[in-house]
Amino acid sequence: MMPKTPSVILREELAKKGYELLDIYHGREKDTIRIKNLLNGRVYLIESNKHVRDLIGREDVIKFINELLSRIEER
């Protein structure tokens, strides 16, 4: 079995929290991530502090998701 990429892990972990990963737009400094809340259908566009490809393990991805979701809740 091939190792999972950070974006695949991101998709799986977001699904556990009720979100769907729609797109990852790669920029020079950071990524812009588009996710959809499966409960209310809202789509969010969030700039990340770092690139998704730089995340190393599942723990890093979970921490990254928690940061993204906390930004959504602040809105």
Q: pTM here?
A: 0.89
pLDDT tens per residue, range 17-53: 999 999 999 999 999 999 999 999 999 999 998 999 9
User: What pLDDT is attached to residue 70?
Assistant: 94
User: What pLDDT is attached to residue 37?
Assistant: 96
Q: What angle do CA 3, 5, 10 make, to 5 degrees?
A: 125
β-bridge pairing 43-47 and 31-37: antiparallel
User: What pLDDT is attached to residue 1?
Assistant: 72
Question: Which two tokens mark 61?
Answer: 């991805």
User: What pLDDT is attached to residue 73?
Assistant: 85
Residue 13 one-letter amino acid: E
Residue 74: pLDDT above 90? no
User: What pLDDT is attached to residue 3?
Assistant: 77
d(C-alpha 49, C-alpha 17), whole Å: 20
d(C-alpha 15, C-alpha 17), whole Å: 5
